[in-house]
Each structure stands twice: as C-alpha cells, then as structure tokens.
Amino acid sequence: MKVIKKEDLENFVDELIANNEKEVVGVKSKDSKYVFDKLENAEELELDYDVTILPPKKYFMPQRETLVEYETREGIEMEAVNEVVPRIIIGIHPYDLEAIKQMDKVFADSPEDDNYLEKREKSVLIGVNMKQISEWSFAGSMGTATIEDGYDLMLTDLGDRYAVEIGTSKGRELLERESLEMRDAEPEEVEEVENIEENIQNGFEKELDFSPQNLPWLLAENYGDEDFWEENAEDCYSCGTCNIVCPTCYCFDVQDFSDISLEEGERMRQWDGCMLEAFAEVAGGENFREERAERYRHRYMRKGRYLYNRFGDIACVGCGRCSSQCVPDIADPTDIFNKLWSDKDE
Amino acid sequence: MSEDVDIDVEYLTRVEGHGNIEVNARNGKIEKCEWQVVEAPRFFESLVVDRDWTELHHVTSRICGICSIGHTLASLKATEDAMDIDVSEQDKKLRKLALHGENMQSHVLHVGYLALPDLMDSKSVVPLTETHEEEVKTVIRLHRLANEMSDVITGRTTHPQRLIPGGFSKIPTENELMELKNKLEGSFNDLTAVANLLNDLESKIPAFERETEYISLTHEDEFALYDGDICSSDTGRTPVEEYLEITNEYTVPQSTAKYTKNNRESYMVGALARLNNNYGQLSPMAKDIAEKFDFDPLVCNPFMNTIAQVVEVVHSVEDSIRLIEELLDEGLEEQEEYNSPDIEPKAGRGIGAVEVPRGILFHDYTYDKDGKCTEANCVIPTNQNHGNIQLDMEKMVPDIISKPEEEVEKQLSMLVRAYDPCISCSTHDLNIKFID
Amino acid sequence: MNKKDSPYLPENATILSVEKMAEREKLFEIELDSGEQLGHDPGQFVEVSVPGVGEAPISISSSPTKEGNSFELCIRKVGNVTNVIHNLKEGDKIGIRGPYGEGFPVEELRGHDVIFIAGGLGIAPLRSLINYSLDNREEFEDIKILYGCRKPCELLYEDEVEEWRDMNNIDYRETVDECPDDVCWEGNVGVITTLIPGIDIDLDNSYTVVCGPPIMYRFVLQELKEKKVPDERIYLSLERRMKCGVGKCGHCQINGEKEELYVCQDGPVFNYDNIKDFEEAL
Amino acid sequence: MKPEERPKAAFFDFAGCEGDQLQVANLEEKILDLLNIVELVSFREVMTEHSDDYDVAFIEGSITDSHAEERLKEIRNNADIVVAIGACATIGGINSIRNAQDFEKVQERVYGDEREHYEAWEKAKPAKAVVDVDYEVHGCPIDREEFLHVVQSIVMGREPNIPDYPVCVECKLNENVCAFERDEFCVGPVTRAGCDSCCVNEGTICWGCRGMIDNPNEEAHEEVLEEYGLTAEEVMKKFDLYFTWQKEAREDE
Ligand SMILES: Cc1cc2nc3c(=O)[nH]c(=O)nc-3n(C[C@H](O)[C@H](O)[C@H](O)COP(=O)(O)OP(=O)(O)OC[C@H]3O[C@@H](n4cnc5c(N)ncnc54)[C@H](O)[C@@H]3O)c2cc1C
Ligand code: SF4
Ligand code: SF4
Ligand code: SF4
C-alpha cells in the first residue's frame, strides 16, 4: 500500500489529463447529483460522493454504439465497428467494481463480445472507498461495500492523504512516473484503512434481513405468487428506469439507421430494459410478458436468481440506484426481498 | 388590356398561414379588392385562461412556429411585469441574442426562400436549387447559422426550451459562445453575397409608394428589439403600458380580420417600420448595405420591407458579435443546472412588448394571486399589418389593373409577401369566409 | 477487426432462388459468398440481415444432407425485415449470421421411431430434420409425419408433400382446419390434434418432435399426454424475440420455477420435460 | 435499399403554428439530399407550384372545422400514404386545451360579441380523428431527425422505429437529474419517448408534447403527482396541456 498527499493526487490527475494519452473521466457533480464525466481538471473531481446517476458501465457498453457499418451501393458491404476510447476512470465505488466484474463474465462468455471487452481492456479503473453512503444503498448486505480486487488502483481517504492500493500491473504502471510524490504506507495507515473499511459496513440505512445467498431459492419459491407481484407492480410505469440505471443490467436492442442516401448506415445497439412493454413482444403481437407484474417479477428474478444460475453471482450489488430513481418508489430490492423473506415464515 | 379581371388566389403560397386575395373588375371598374385572412381560429387567449404562470410562455410560443422565440419572450416579459420578477443583465443579453437569432432565421427564410423566387421569376426555391445552386447554398448557410444560434442560446430552433420566467433554465457555455462568435464573423462574405444579389435585382422591386404611419419599438441606447417604448413615425413615443391607445383594434365589414389604427386608417409594422424609426442606430455594416439601396427614411414603399430585412440580418449579426464580446469580457456568471428561479407568484397585470421579425408584438396578461391567468390579450404584428395591406392594395390595383391578369395577380401576391405575413399567428381573425 | 472478432458481423450471402409457396411464405435458397457450407444441424437457425432494415432469426429449413453448398429458409412475411426480404429477388444480397442454437438431438433419435407434428409454419424447421431422416432412412425406425394448416392453400412445400404422400416407407397424414367449398381436398378436415388419436405410438421406442404456433403446443401436448407419451420423449422448437442470437441481448430469456433458459443458446429446440414447468415457455 | 423512383410528396397545413414545416425547412443542406429521395410536388409555405398527383401527404395542424375535414378527406383520397406531423396533427396539440374548456366561454374570451361569425368546431381534432393516418411524427415541434427517419423508412418500405416507451428511458440514458428530484413535476413517465428527452436536457421538464404512450399508467402517475404535493386540479392541468384529446378518445373506447 502506498500513500499520496491529496494535493499530489490532484497534480497527478491534472498531469494525466494534460498527458492526453487516455481520456480521463471521473465523478463530477450535476445539480444535486453526481455523474461520471470527462474531467477538464482535477478540481472537478468529487471523490466524496454518494452514488452516480448512471454506473460506469456506460464506458464499456455505451448507451448507444455502432456494431456494424454497411454500404449497399453495389451488393452489400458490412464492417464490424468498435469505437474504443482508452480511458482512466477515477472514483469507482466498490459495488460498481463488483458490477463490472460481473459484466466482464457476461461479455467474455462465448461468443466473446469484443465491443465490450476491448473497451474494458483499454480502461484503467481507479476505485475509491465510500465516504458518503447513499440513503438507498444496501451494499453492506450484498457484500459489495468494500472489495478485494477488480480495480487497478484503489483509493481510501485518510484526511489529508489517500491510501493507494495497487490491484494490477496496469495500476502500477500508471503510478510509474517521476513527478509523482508517493511513499509506502506506515503500518498504522494500513490499519486505518482496515478500520475505515470495517466502518463502512455499518453505515447503511437499508439492509437485507437475510443473507443474499438465500435469494435464488427464495425467489424460486415465490415465482408463482402472482398476487404478490401484481400488488407490488400496480404503480409501475414500465419506464425501465430501474433497468437503465442498474450497473448489472445489460440487455440491449439493435436497430439499423441509414443515412439519407439510403445507401449506407449503421447498425446500432442501445440499452434496452426488460421492464419496457415491448421487450418480449414478437411479430404478430404475441407478448410473452404482457402484464406489468410479469415484467416486474422478471427483473427481480433476473437480479436474484437467473444470472446467479448462469454466472454464479447475485446480479444486484446493492447500489440503490433503481430504488432512488424510481418515481413511484416501488423498485427497492430490499423492500421486495425482505417482504418475501418475512412472508415465508407465515 | 383587360377590362374584366377576376383574381381568386385561394391560400396564397409562400406565406405563413392562410390568406386569400380577391379582386374583381368589370369593364375596368373595380368592384372588389380584398385581402382576406382565412386561418382557422385557435383561441389562444382562451387557452391560457386558468393556466399556471409557469406554463404561459410554453403555450403562447405555439402561436407561431417562426416567431416562437419572440412570442416566448413577449409572454415572459408580460409575466415578469405582472409579478415584478427581475431578470439579470446577463440574461437580458442572452435573450437579445435569442431574438437576433430568430430575426436572422425568419428574415433569411423570407428573403431567400419566399421573396427571392419572385424577383428571379421562379415559382419557388426548388427549381433554383438547380439553376442557382451557389446562391441557394449561401442562403442555406445563413439560415443554418441563424438556427445554430437559436439552438445554442435557447436549446432548440423552434419553440425554445431554455427561456423561462426570470431567466434561463440553462445557459450556453463560454466555449459555445466563442464558437458562435467565430461563425458569425465568418458569415460576412455570405451576407455581402446576398446583399449584392438583391442589389442586382433591385430593378424588379416595384416602384410603389403610399404615405404610411410606421410603428415600432424605440430605445435611446440601441436599435430596439427587446426593450423600449412604442414609437410612431406620425405621433412619436408612447409607453408600452398604453399599447391599447396605439393598436385600437376595430372591425371593418369587408374584411375578415381585425384591423388596427393609430393616427391614420392603418399603420405598418416590421423591418421597414423599424428601419424608418431607428435608422440611426443600425450597426455600421448594416448601414452601408442600406445605403447601397439608397435607403433614406422615411421610405414608403412596402416592397422595400424585404430590403429592410436584409439590412436587419446584417445588423443582427454585428450586434450579436458585440453582445457575445460583452458577455465574454465580463465572463459568464455560472448558474445552477436545471435552473429555476425562486419566484413567488402574485396577482397583477403585466404587458410585454418585443420586436419580432414581422413587427411589434404585445402580450398582456392578468393573474390571480396563485399565479393563474384570468385574462389575456395578444396583439400580433401581422394583425396590425392587415389594414395596411388592404389599403396598399386599394391604391395599387387601379394603377396596374390594365396589365394582364397574371401580372396583376403576381404583383398583388408580391405585395402581400413583402409584408411577410404570418397569418397562422393572427390571434384575432374574424369571420371565416371562403371563396366559392 | 475481422469477422471472427465480432459476433454481430454478418457474412455476405446471395439469394440463388425464390419460390412463392403460399400467400405469406416464400422459400429462399441461399449461398454464402465465401462458398463454404453453412454447416448446420437440423433445428438450428440463422440471423438474416437486410442492411437498413435489421435482422430476423429464421430456422434453417433444409437438411444438412442437401446437395451443394446452399441452404434454404422459409420466411413468412409478418413485419419489418420479413416484408422487405419478400421483395428480394434472385441474385440479391443479404447478410447471414449463424448457424446458432441447439438443434434437434439427432444422435438420440437415431434408431428410434420418430413422429413429426407440424402446424403451419412449424413445418419449416421440422422439414430440415424430416429430410435429414429421409436421406438417412435406414438409420431410423418408423417415421410418421402429421402436418396441419388452416386451409389447403396454406400448405407449404407442396412438391415434397406430394412425394411424402406417395412414399410407402413413412406414414404421412395431413389435415386442414377448414376447407372452402370450391377447393378440392382429399385429406382430413379438423385441427391437428384430431390426427393424433389415430396413430399408434410405441411408447418405449419413439420420439415426438413438435413445432407450431404457441396455441397448437398447448393442445398437442394435451393429446400426447392422453396417449401417455413420456414428457422426456417430446422435443419442441420455441420462438422468442431475439436481437443478438448469441445469448447477450436478454430478449429471448424465458422464466420458469426452476431455472431460466435462453432460447437462442439453450434452444430453440427443447426437451419438453425440461421446460414444462416454465410458465412463460408455452 | 434505394428504390428506383422517388415518391411524390406534398405538405398540407391546417390549424397550427407551421413550426413543423419550419422544422423541415430547418433541415438546411439536408433538404437537398431529401430531394434526392422524394419529389416535392406541393408545399404551400415555400412553393407556388402545386399538384394533386402525390403519393405521400404530410399533414400539419389540427382539424377544427368542416371545411378542413373535407379538405383532409380529399387529401386522403389522393394519397397512398398519409403522415401526420406535429402534435396538432397527431394528438390535437396545444389546440386541444380548449377541448376541456366551455366553448361558449372560449369564443367569448377571444371574440366577445362577435363570436357568432364562426364556423369552428367545439373541439380541435387530430388528423386520425377524421381520416386513416398511416404514420405519425410526434412532437411540438417535430424532431428533424425523426422526420427524416420516417421519410426514409417510407421510401425504403420499412417500418419506422417510433418508441412506445416513456420519455424517462431517454432521460435516464442522458443522465438527467429527474424533475421529481428537483421539486418539479413532469409527465415524462406517461409520455412517448423519441425526442431524446430534449426538454429535460435543456433544464426543464417534459411537458408531454409527444402524447401519451399506448398503455400509460395514468392512474399511478396521477397518484404520484398528488403524493408529491399537487392538488387534484393541478394534476389535471398537467394532463390537459397536451393529452386532452387522447384522454377523451380513450374514454370513448
Ligand atoms: C429461433 C427462431 C426461428 C424462427 N424461424 C422462422 C422461420 O423459419 N420462418 C419465419 O418466417 N419466421 C421464423 N421465426 C420468426 C421470425 O424471426 C419473426 O417473424 C421475425 O423476426 C419478424 O421480424 P420482422 O422484422 O419481420 O417483424 P417485426 O415485427 O417488424 O420485428 C421487429 C423486431 O422484433 C423482433 N421480433 C419480432 N418478432 C419476432 C419473433 N417472432 N421472433 C424473434 N424476434 C422477433 C426481431 O428482433 C425483429 O427485428 C423464427 C423465430 C425464432 C426465434
Ligand atoms: S419499477 Fe419503477 S423504475 Fe422500474 S419500470 Fe416500474 S416505475 Fe419504472
Ligand atoms: S438492482 Fe438496483 S440496487 Fe441492485 S444493482 Fe441494480 S440498480 Fe443497484
Ligand atoms: S425528468 Fe421526467 S422524463 Fe426525466 S426521468 Fe424524471 S419523470 Fe422521467
């Protein structure tokens, strides 16, 4: 573990920006909220934030990206496209790092999705331990409040200094520059970081009343409880907000957009959401999840069960984005999961 | 020489909104000579009743797509007047930029797409895209520049989003303003090209004159568009609060629209009126261009309105550059994202006047204590011009009635187009009447 | 980036011929421009691309045993991509990705009786396996084909059906839901389930393979149950919305009590026993 | 995918602000490209030429009297494809505010004693209330790119992608701070997306100009607005800025 003074970290970030080798993005404030965005200077960086509106997945799987370019003047010509911008991403909280680990598995699964993987590979992830905890977050319960790996560098705020944990050689290389003033951490500082991490565990207002390991069977057991799902989904707008803001959601739609000549264009993918009404609709109008409640249930099933069966992870990292941004306030996983848990005893 | 003339122009083309021209003559005697407005009524002054003060500008912007920035600003000024809401100097400058953008956009559209075809003996701009590609592209470039300006300042080219009571929901960045300034500075070649093109066509502009009263805003410090008093070329200055003394709406039996009059039977508003009243305050290059056309106020040829628009476009470009420079020199004061000024609604009446491309525009609202609108009145420039169009026609027809019917029709159409009427926004049209 | 790197990049292919089969269905014979064989198993599908319009998953309707390098797709005109495909002619270019998915378990079926039950367009994927088994007739025991559609004019693959009717080493039966008075039809009239009671099923030695619209599954499965056909001896092919075909886009996932399935990767062919508890499957 | 012949296109305007036609003019250089894929045969606002021989008719504005109704029916007869452009033509737009007002009063407020002169319907109607409409380009004003997309799709013979999900989707993709988190009120949750949440991006709220999605959860949204502190009357006002015609049409069903 290394230690760096706050002002030196600022200089370091400014240098990275000036260096221009990779785009430097970090957490910035937007109105009363926070977003990951391109940094113009280190001063804009807000490492003391609660949660960002969108997770950093947008850098590996952009809201909209071109997969294929085509041209149809004579016959067809198609070319795969991957617009990769190498980036240094500063200020990722542990739950988002965990989510990125999960996404890595999804896109590395055969057949590999290079549009994601290459962007991911060309990025450097600098994590930061939480100082503020979102009132909606329950990362403590999901085991994602702190993290052992998945970052290239990990920062912890020690007042006037940051402790820097080096996670990978990519991270180490980034630090290898002469101008950077950094020293090895004292044993007390290592202990301080441990204490801080321990304290974070206790800072959550929202909690799951049980271990998330129970989710797969709990959800399976309640799959058929239609009344329950209907009751809870009654106010759902089918607006997909809970999908879009989620760091572990990755469903997408693909559409073609021709330019005005009609002879060339792009095939693009855009984030989609299983809560949207047409998500499972096929030609002829048959919709395999026509009811709000079916779609609502599907999201929870996917978070707590299906993706676990497929990739071995509970696909909710407890960031609380879905619940904090759902306008009718019905998307809180702890609320639903806890209700199921307490009902099971009845 | 035609003794009998029957002209029925149903839905005059290349104007905004629906209007008809009807002229009948028997044995050389004029029996009927009318400019009729047949736009379906849209009842704006009722639509806003009971609505919240935060929504009025959104609703009244829809009076007219082309002057939507102007309507929004007149609306905001009326609301701000009613509730004593302050607007910062910076926001006022930005609003002036917005108005310039709209002025340029609308004038370029009118001159380039609607009026030029007449002067070039073409039925529309479409054939010109092939015969005069360069000229058309010049016009398009200027039009796009004007739209980019509206985009940068107000968020959109039509029906602005950022203009809200008390200021702006979002303001442009300094970089965006800088870029805009560079583009404006880069447009002088195109402006000169358009001016020269019209100069070459000057002989095609009919030499028609009729003594007319011209009404516009006027202001000591600047060529008035956003602020000022009402000014008549006949009767001098009147404060905006007394606008009803000026507009005097009345109905006439042979017409479908309400007319307005002040000192004479009718008056004219618009670019020509502004130039006539405020000529001395034009920017330097605008003045140069006006001189090329021997512009010497008072100019009483309504066809010169098109030329006045060209002059105003140049003025708007120059004045915008000046405004942006001022803003950048002072440094933009940052404001919150999703800005929404802290305003307590209150009861009262407010009047807002701005110069929009087609002339002076008034919005007049009364609010109750919760900020619900109880009464509204909007007097639109085109309405103010209808009477003048009619009187111009009456003077012109006897002079030209001996020409071939087609020629008469073309001249009359050109006359109406010169006013650049914006009929769809005429909120006070009466008695729809169709030609059988 | 070359093709291998992007699972989303189609290969160029040429339409060799187009045959109108019924009012809404056409049969397209297609060859990859690379000259290579598609290399599919019966029951697999491809993503067909029309640049500017999009992609649609379509089952491969020809058998891998078909001569030459081309393959066949039977496409019903129902929406965006399929409408535009219907306007294409011989020589036109399209894009192909695939083959994708799990096809029919040919190894498992080999040496057994096979009963094919096809409703409407369901014959398209089944034909791939039917022709495969007819081309390797000696490897299979009894073959029965039950084929039903709404009206005689909707019957697909007329020439081949004509041959099936005459073949004496298979048992071919057909039905239409209704037959207009002015049409000559010698087959059965009634829904496809009416054919099932009349056939003998050797429960220990036969497999049933079903493909058709969702509503047909419900009734056919009911009928097979009455015949005591074990669930694990039934295979069926499902259709879902798909955007990628490779297990990423999430659209084709179906939910059940026990687990989840991706139609594009785990299917489209499923063993009935594995999906019968899936509320969303049928 | 380019067809051999350019379809003939014509524009027609009814009661509206002509902002949508202006948006077409605002395509700037792209108009020249547009002319490569369609042949413009009638566009009163910019051309004097006119022909009744057209394949695609674009309709702007609401239908507010029987003369307009007749005219629109004639257009429908002439055209193979009718496209309504802009909120006035797709959902009645701002004009339909008056559909919820007392018509006597509406007339009196604007024309006082002279209101009798009118032949205007009590209610403003969108094009589809009078004739069959094949496609709609939503918005007040229309989005230029979406307009182009619809024209392109018609020319290519494919269906345009017009979303049937709420504006919130795009608003989130654009990473906006939700109006509800800034003590403002928004009808984005029931409004059809496709505008790229342009109003919220510019710092305001979604006003609803693209109309409601096909299956909005109106009840939930009304409840939510009340929970956030609006009175029932204020909630209604949020919905009757743009949705009056749609709401009535749904109730009639
Ligand atoms: C495994 C599989 C095999 C199929 N085999 C055949 C076949 O052999 N012949 C045939 O005619 N049809 C087949 N279909 C159905 C065919 O894919 C749809 O009819 C087609 O996608 C409709 O697309 P469209 O663009 O014409 O219609 P639209 O309604 O315009 O569809 C738009 C988009 O929705 C999605 N979509 C809509 N309907 C379906 C659907 N039923 N299945 C999957 N995605 C859909 C697609 O992504 C499509 O791009 C198959 C479907 C699947 C899943
Ligand atoms: S749960 Fe909430 S955020 Fe999710 S779709 Fe429903 S209303 Fe939208
Ligand atoms: S489900 Fe909600 S809390 Fe869980 S990871 Fe997704 S957005 Fe965060
Ligand atoms: S601001 Fe409006 S459109 Fe955007 S997310 Fe919130 S409710 Fe939806």
Calpha distance A251→A243 (Å, rounded) = 9
Check residue B428 and give its pLDDT: 41
pLDDT of residue B93: 97
Q: For B418-433, what is the mean pLDDT?
A: 54
CA atoms lying within 13 Å on the CB side of residue B69:
32
* A270: closest chain C residue by CA: C249
Q: Whose CA is nearest to atom 8 of ligand 3?
A: A319
Q: Does B336 touch chain A (CB under 8 A)?
A: yes
**Binary contact (B43, D18; C-beta < 8 A):** no
Cα A301 to ligand 1 centre (Å) = 25
Amino acid at position D87, single letter: A
Q: Which ligand has its closest atom nearest to the C-alpha of A245?
A: 3
Stronger pLDDT, C3 or C146, i.e. the higher one: C146
C12 within 8 A of A76, measured Cβ to Cβ:
yes
Asked if residue B6 has pLDDT above 50, the reply is: yes
Ligand nearest to the CA of D161: 1
Domain residue ranges of chain B, discontinuous segments joined by +: 4-37, 44-426
- Cβ separation B18–D13 shorter than 8 A: yes
The predicted model scores a pTM of 0.91
Given CB atoms, is A32 within the 8 Å cutoff of chain D? Answer: yes
User: Ligand 2: residues within 6 Å at CB?
Assistant: A 236-242, 275, 326, 328, 330-331
For residue D190 the two structure tokens come to: 């029931």
How far is it, in rounded angstroms, from Cα D166 to Cα D147?
A: 19
CA dist B373 and C150 (Å) reads 63
- List the single range of B26-30, B214-218, C46-50 with lowest mean pLDDT: B26-30
Q: How many angstroms is it from A247 CA to the middle of ligand 3?
A: 7
Between helix A333-344 and helix A226-233 the angle, nearest 10°, is 150
Express each pLDDT in A188-205 by its tens digit. Answer: 999 999 999 999 998 999
Q: Which of the four pLDDT bands, split at 50, 70 and 90, describes residue C1? A: very low
> Which of C52, C80, C87 shows the shortest C-beta gap to D159?
C80
- Tell whether C257 lies on the interface with A, counting CB pairs under 8 A: yes
Q: How far apart are CA D130 and CA D12, in angstroms?
A: 15
Interchain proximity D175–A54, CB inside 8 Å = yes
Angle formed by the axes of helices A292-301 and A333-344, nearest 10°: 90
The C-alpha of C278 sits at a distance from chain D's nearest C-alpha, in angstroms, of 27
Angle among Cα B347, B353, B356 to the nearest 5 degrees reads: 140
| Contact flag D94-B159 (C-beta cutoff 8 Å) | no
Residue nearest to atom 52 of ligand 1 (CA): C239
Give the E-state strand segments of C160-229 in sequence order: 171-176, 188-189, 206-211
The predicted structure's pLDDT at residue B430 = 33
Is C268 touching ligand 1 by the criterion CB < 6 Å? yes
Read off the tokens for C21: 């089969």
The predicted model gives B8-35 an average pLDDT of 75
In this structure, are residues B292 and B238 in contact, taking their beta carbons and an 8 Å threshold?
A: no
According to the model, what pLDDT value does residue B432 have?
Answer: 29
Test mutation, B159, B162, B168, B412, chain D, max D CBs within 10 A: B159
How many interchain CB pairs under 8 A, A with B? 4
Give the closest-approach CA distance of B112 to chain D in angstroms. Answer: 10
Q: What is the pLDDT of residue D115?
A: 52
| Residue A80 to residue C248, Cβ atoms within 8 A | no
Structure tokens at A102: 């999960």
Residue B166's region, left for phi above 0, alpha for psi from -120 to 50, else beta, is left
Q: Which of C52, C79, C239 sits opposite A72 (nearest CB)?
A: C52
Contact of A241 with A276, CB cutoff 8 Å: no
CA dist D22 and B114 (Å) reads 13
Strand partners, B36: B20
CATH of domain C3-100: 2.40.30.10
For residues C123 and C104, give the distance between their C-alpha atoms in angstroms, rounded to a whole number: 14
For B47, which of D18, D98, D207 is closest by C-beta distance? D98
Which residues sit opposite D142 in a β-bridge? D139
pLDDT of A164 reads: 96
Distance CA A333, CA A212 (A): 11
Instruction: Using the mean position of ligand 1's atoms as its centre, give its distance from the Cα of residue C57 in Å.
Output: 5
CATH class of C240-282: mainly beta
First CA to last CA across chain A, in angstroms? 50
Phi, psi of B183 (to 5 degrees): -65, -40
CATH code of the region C106-237: 3.40.50.80
Taking the CA of residue D116 and the nearest CA in chain C, the distance in Å comes to 51
Task: Yes or no: say if B93 and B218 are a contact pair by the CB < 8 Å rule.
Answer: no
Greatest alpha-carbon span in chain D = 59
What is the mean pLDDT of the segment spanning A105-123? 92
C243-263: average pLDDT: 79
Beta-strand relationship, C206-211 and C113-119: parallel
| Domain ranges, ordered by start, for chain A | 2-201, 212-343
- Can you give the pLDDT at residue C190? 82
- Which pair of structure tokens corresponds to residue A65? 């990206």
CA distances in angstroms from A247 to A65, A88, A92, listed in the order given: 17, 18, 12
Number of residues in chain A: 346
**pLDDT for res B433:** 30
Q: Output the pLDDT for position A1.
A: 92
Distances (CA, A) of B89 to B166, B326, B333: 11, 11, 11
Using the Cβ of D109 and the Cβ atoms of chain B, whether some distance falls under 8 Å is answered with: yes
Cross-chain Cβ contact A30/B336 below 8 Å: no
Q: For tokens 């619900």, what's the residue?
A: B372
Q: Please state which of the ranges A11-25, A270-284, B35-49 shows the lowest mean pLDDT.
A: B35-49
> Which of D33, D164, D220 comes nearest A237 by C-beta?
D220
Cis amide leading into B163 (omega within 30): no
Amino acid at site C268: P
Q: What residue type is A188 in one-letter code?
A: E
> Six-digit token pair at A144?
């994602």
Which-ligand-closest: CA of A283? 1
Confidence of residue C3 (pLDDT cuts 50, 70, 90): very low
State the pLDDT at residue A8: 94
B236-238 and B229-232 strand pairing = antiparallel
Compute the nearest-CA separation of D47 from chain B (Å).
5
CA neighbours closer than 13 Å in the CB half-sphere of residue B284? 3
Region B44-426: CATH code: 1.10.645.10
- Ligand 1 atom nearest to CA at C124: 8
- pLDDT tens-place string over residues B312-360: 999 999 999 999 999 999 999 999 999 999 999 999 999 999 999 999 9
Measured CA to CA, the distance from residue D94 to residue B424 in angstroms comes to 14
Handedness of CA D165, D168, D172, D176 (dihedral sign): positive
What CATH topology corresponds to D3-156? Rossmann fold (3.40.50)
Query: Do residue C50 and residue D1 have CB atoms under 8 angstroms apart?
Result: yes
Q: Which residue of B has its CA nearest to D182?
A: B338
- pLDDT tens for the 253 residues of chain D, in order: 677 789 999 999 898 888 998 899 888 888 888 988 999 888 877 777 788 889 999 999 999 988 899 999 999 999 999 999 999 999 999 999 988 888 777 777 777 666 555 567 889 999 999 999 999 999 999 999 999 999 999 999 899 999 999 999 999 999 999 999 998 999 999 999 999 999 999 999 999 999 999 999 989 898 888 888 888 888 888 888 999 999 999 888 7
Mutate which of C24, C50, C62, C82 to test ligand 1's pocket (most atoms within 8 Å of Cβ)? Answer: C82
3-state secondary structure of C85: helix
pLDDT digits (tens, 9 = 90+) for B274-320: 999 999 999 999 999 999 999 999 999 999 999 999 999 999 999 99
Q: Give the rounded percent of residues in chain B with a pLDDT score beyond 70.
A: 93
The verdict on D165 touching B (C-beta cutoff 8 Å) is no
- Report phi then psi at B299, rounded to 5: -95, 120
CB within 8 Å: A250 and C280: no
Instruction: Return the sign of the alpha-carbon dihedral for residues A244, A247, A250, A255.
Output: positive
Residue D32 near chain A (CB below 8 Å): no
Examine chains C and B and say if they touch (3+ CB pairs below 8 A): no
**pLDDT (average), residues A39-67:** 96
Q: Is B376 helix (H, G, I), strand (E, B) or coil?
A: strand
Q: Are A280 and C240 inside 8 Å of each other by CB?
A: yes
Angle of helix B305-330 relative to helix B188-200, nearest 10 degrees?
170
Neighbouring chains to B with at least 3 Cβ pairs closer than 8 Å: A, D
Buried b (16+ CB within 10 A) or exposed e, A115-130: bbbbbbeebbbbbbbb
The rounded distance, in Å, linking the Cα atoms of B134 and A163 is 64
C-beta separation of C97 from C47 below 8 A: yes
Domain positions in chain C are: 3-100, 106-237, 240-282
Q: Which residues of C116-144 are buried (b: 16+ CB within 10 A; e: fewer)?
A: bbbbbbbbbbbbbbbbbbbeeeeebebbb
**Are D159 and C87 inside 8 Å of each other by CB?**
no
As a whole number of angstroms, the distance between CA A222 and CA C153 comes to 47
Residue B252 is predicted with a pLDDT of 64
CB contact under 8 A, A224 and C248: no
The predicted-structure confidence for B92-140, as pLDDT tens digits, reads as follows 999 999 999 999 999 999 898 888 888 888 877 878 888 888 888 999 9
Closest residue in chain A to residue D180, using alpha carbons only: A327
Tokens of B362: 């008034």
Where are chain D's structural domains?
3-156, 167-252
Tokens standing for C204? 């220990």
Q: Give the span between the Cα atoms of C231 and C120, in whole angstroms.
A: 23
CA D139 to ligand 2 center in whole angstroms = 24
Report the alpha-carbon distance of residue B383 to residue B249 in Å, rounded.
Answer: 9
DSSP, residue by residue, B36-86: EE-PPP--HHHHTTT-BTTTHHHHHHTT-STTHHHHHHHHHHHHHHHTT--
Residues of A in contact with B338 (CB under 8 A): 31
Structure tokens at D36: 């490569």
pLDDT, one tens digit per residue, over C94-153 is 999 989 998 998 888 888 888 899 988 999 999 999 999 888 888 888 888 889 988 888
Mutation choice for B interface testing from D43, D204, D235, D236 by most B CBs within 10 A: D204
A-chain residue closest to B339, CA distance:
A31
B5-9 and A264-271 strand pairing: unpaired
In sequence order, which residues have a C-beta less than 8 Å from that of residue C33 and are 6 or more positions away? Answer: C11, C12, C13, C14, C93
Torsional sign, CA A39, A42, A46, A51: positive
Among chain B residues, the shortest Cα distance to A32 is held by B337
ipTM of the complex: 0.90
Tell me whether residues D1 and C87 touch, CB distance under 8 A: no
Q: Is the CB of A321 under 6 A from ligand 3?
A: yes
